[in-house]
Structure 1
Amino acid sequence: MSNGFGDSEYYGVVQIGTPPQPFNVIIDTGSSDLWITGSTLTRGTTSSSSASLPAMGAIGSPSSSSFASTGASFNSSQSSSYKSSSTPFRITYGSGSASGLVGTDTVSLTGYTVNNQAFATVSQASSGLLSGDVSGIMGMAFTSLSSTKAVPFWESANINVFAFGITRFVNISSSNEIEPGGVLTLGGLNSSLYKGNISYVNLKSESYWVIAMDAVSINGQAIPGSQSDSVAIDTGTSLIGAPSSVVRAVYSQIPGAGPASGSYSGYYQFPCGSQTRLSLTFGGISYDIASDDFNVGAIDTRGETCLGALFGVDSTGSTSTTSSSTPNWIIGDSFLKNVYTVFRKQSNGNNSGPSAVGFALPSDNYQALLRSAGRAVGGGVTSGSITNAKSSAKLTIDSRMARSSILLGLLASTFAITCS
């Protein structure tokens, strides 16, 4: 899997069709649909969708992004196993929307293959929804959230557990445009990436990966009213969305912080030299967010004023979510870089336990191990190892990675997929 937009967007290579056509797709636990850009794609704002999802890649919104996807497009005429339909597809994310038609074909991700998997071929998409070599999105949430009501690939493939360990390059000035981004493990865990036990928090329902959060603190100061039973763990969101009242309370504890303006309206800014320690508590265990992950980057030429990773999801503007069914919190990559994260679905006939999200503290050499999982080479291609729990086989793939940047001009990096 790969990481684009400076530690903000994680994607991997999926194969679709007969013979297989490879595509980079965002791996998004905040949605459930699989879609790929089609050969007839028109860029521009699509019409409104009946599906409203949490902000995905929030600061890379269509209104501010100057980058367009150069990823491959699916050509259905070149696949002997593709079956078309007249079923329309429409979906809206926090960073744009897409529409097209639903069809079925053979879909493979590493060693997992599903025949007649439903997915959408997108003919119209917001200009800033995808960037670099990304061709689409693979939703990793549950069937009930799917706008097409199709069973998501991971459920069709009986992948009842998958886990993320993602790297941090946004604060490394010597980083290349393309860098290793970490490890996604399908069908099992990677015990070398965490220490101690995994602490699981059971889901409230099988839609989003929504769990309860006990508390929030900033620099050791507890934030009143920050407990929530509606917290979505979302790899497709760059930052952390929270109720506006909590956001205001957090930034009030940072000297010199205040609402940002202009193209950054809806976010907060603070002095770049501030040392912040935002902590989130799940299942009675507090997890710290590194100061470098809370600091998204400078928004002035002098490098004195920086943007914070915490934004309001119930405020007005491009960062807002308006559907009453969406979670109160959206926990994205700014937090997930600081933990090893496990997504578990209850499986009949074994002792896997109820559906849950689990967190563990990273191993002592966590970042070094993640970076060694994939190494950037010439031409924007990264070689990464992939292990499949079903066969215990190791494969090696080459995948093209994004050459792009988000609104703040942060470095892009790559993310290797493993399955074990």
Structure 2
Amino acid sequence: MWWPKYGVGMLTATFLSCYGAATPAPTTETPSLEEIARRYTRRTAGGVHLPIVRQVAEASRRRGLTSAIGLGDFVDVVYNVLISVGGTTIPLALDTGTSDLWVVSDKCTQGCLSGQSAYPQASFNYSGADAKLFYGNSTTASGMIGKDTVSLAGLTLQDQYFIAVNQTNTKLGLTGSSGIFGLGFPVTSVVWFKLWRLSDYFSSPGKQGQQTSGNASSSATSIHRTWSVFGPLPTRFVTAAQLTLPMYTVTLQRDTKQVGGNVGMLSIGEMPSGVSEDSLTWVPIRAYPWLPPPPDSPDEVYPYNWEVLLDDVYLDGVKLPRSTLSSPFITLSALINSGNSILHGPPDVVRNIQSKLGINGRFPCSEPHTIAFSIGGKLFPVDPRDFIQQVIGNDVTTCTSVLGSNNPPSLTGPQYSWSLGIPFLKSVLAAFYYGNITHPSHDPPKMGFLSTVPQDAAAQLVSAVAAVKAGDNFPYISEVAPSGTFKSAGTASNGVPLATAAGHATQTGFS
């Protein structure tokens, strides 16, 4: 996943050292990005809805045309959304597992591709600070922190801080992306942390000399104020009270196996049309006592990630034993992460699942298996079509699962043991509700889930495998334009818009 290693731990250490015991659709010509944004963004009285652009590497498209992609799991999956930065529309990877906004700069000297969309720095206001992001897959992105005007579907914020990246080895350029748009919370933002450390807010009365809980709380108040200045784009939209609800809702389309599924869409400030909030299962976000609370709310605790508690995990209807690799005092939880192309879980649980699936975790592709996660007392299955990947290209006989292992959590860091990526998110409508950023107890952050897996998903997988000729592959398409808007191929029984079997909804502009 696109997960910065730098920031959370250092922030925690800073507070502990400073504050002591303080409570811690198709056309013959591809439209320009600007035209895409204009034609397929819809604003309503209650919010904004954007099509998500799905793109894959050019090399991957070539393999797909020669039936070498398989089920699409041999390459990273990225969902893009169009954002205007300094007047230039740029496709950025949508990542719920990180908090920062970064874009490839026109001054990029390493890791950037010819023809890649880039941010021209003519209007860039450099802050004097630089940043280097370290991700969990050992890749990095570095550049200058500065500010410019940023717009998302007509919602505009001036003086938005971000990183203009001039060096990276993330390979995001191969996916058609020119950076990352993080939807995480401010406390995990490297940009915010760097600017806070350099700001007058950091030079609080409690920075020098003997620390007291009063100083810590007073400093906490000033820290919270910086979130509306230096914070991530979603945070600043929320703190500026521009949204009807402090919420973003995501549905992701399927472009492999049986193309279709949900319409890919990011809705801001309200639910997609036809979907009721009451139809979702809502659960709180895990909070941590690592940030000093404000004086007017001394028991405040804060969310660090989109992390939700899990009741249990099931395979083919059977509850799986819990992991024994982490402390029994850690409650089972999962990070909801669109920056992760697979599902990650505890090593011992993953091994157990693989053993149940078959020798070396291999099984017939036509054999449906369902992994399901119990959240808020309700089961949310992963569509069997999204649970498998081919072992060998051009062969839909033998498959394995899209499971990988996570390092066990510890009591001193984020405590999630599962990271639920794209396969899970293609199976649900997910709502990310920020609540009150500075005082979470006043309006707690939460997530809502609505399963979009059809009752006949297993039969559809069997049908998809049977339809593939020997030596051939499943359908695989690359969508470099919006797959759909709001006039979709129809809706599911729960109201969620559906994409067509061609991989896109009816592409009709909005007035």
Same fold (TM over 0.5): yes
Contact kept, 8 Å, 1:32 with 1:152, in 2: the verdict is yes
1:4-403 pair list within 5 angstroms: 4-5=55-56, 6=72, 8-17=77-86, 20-44=87-111, 70-77=115-122, 79=123, 82-95=124-137, 96-126=139-169, 128-149=171-192, 150-158=230-238, 159=243, 160-172=246-258, 182-193=264-275, 197-205=279-287, 206-225=303-322, 228-258=331-361, 269-314=362-407, 324-325=413-414, 327-347=416-436, 353-362=443-452, 380-382=480-482, 385=485
Give the AA of the match of 1:2.
V
Residue 180 to residue 335, structure 1, CA distance change in 2 (3 Å): closer
User: Percent of counterpart pairs with the same letter?
Assistant: 26
2:280 aligned counterpart, secondary structure: strand
Distance in 2 (CA, whole Å) between partners of 1:240 and 1:346 is: 27
Report how many residues are paired.
338
Highest Rg: 1 or 2?
2
Q: Deviations over 1:343-392 (max 9, x none)?
A: 00113899995201111133979x9xxxxxxxxxx9944486589xxxxx
1:138, distance to aligned residue in structure 2 (A)? 0.7
Distance 2:262 2:355 in 1: 36
- Look up the match of 1:394: none
Q: Is the 8 A contact 2:104 2:119 kept in 1?
A: yes
Please state which structure has a larger fraction of its residues in strand.
1
Deviation at 1:255, TM superposition (A): 2.2
- Unaligned 5+ runs, structure 2: 1-51, 57-71, 193-229, 288-302, 324-329, 458-477, 488-501
Q: What is the letter of the counterpart of residue 99 of structure 2?
A: S
Report the AA paired with residue 314 of structure 2: S
Q: Deviations over 1:225-245 (max 9, x none)?
A: 069533111112111111101
What is the CA RMSD across the aligned residues, in angstroms?
3.8
Contact in 2 for aligned 1:194/1:360 (Cα 8 Å): no
Q: Secondary structure at the match of 1:87?
A: strand
How far residue 333 of structure 1 moved from its aligned partner, in angstroms, is 1.2
Cα distance between partner residues in 2 of 1:172 and 1:310: 20
SS of 2:279 mapped into structure 1? strand
Match of 2:59 in 1: none
Instruction: Using CA pairs under 8 Å that are at least 6 residues apart, name the structure with larger relative contact order, 1 or 2.
Output: 1
Which letter maps to 1:222?
Answer: K
Which stretch has the larger CA shift, 350-359 or 111-120?
350-359
What SS is found at the alignment partner of 1:84?
Answer: strand
| Shift in alpha-carbon separation, 1:184–1:324, aligned structure 2, 3 A | same
Structure-2 separation of matches of 1:35 and 1:182? 22
Summarize deviations over 1:201-229 as a string: whole Å, max 9, x none: 10112211011011111111211106953
Residue identity matched to 1:10: Y
- After TM superposition, the score normalised by the length of structure 1 is 0.71
Any stretches of 5+ residues in structure 1 without a counterpart?
45-66, 259-268, 368-377, 388-411
Closer/same/farther in 2, CA of residues 277 and 352 from structure 1, 3 Å limit: farther
| Aligned-partner residue type, residue 418 of structure 2 | W
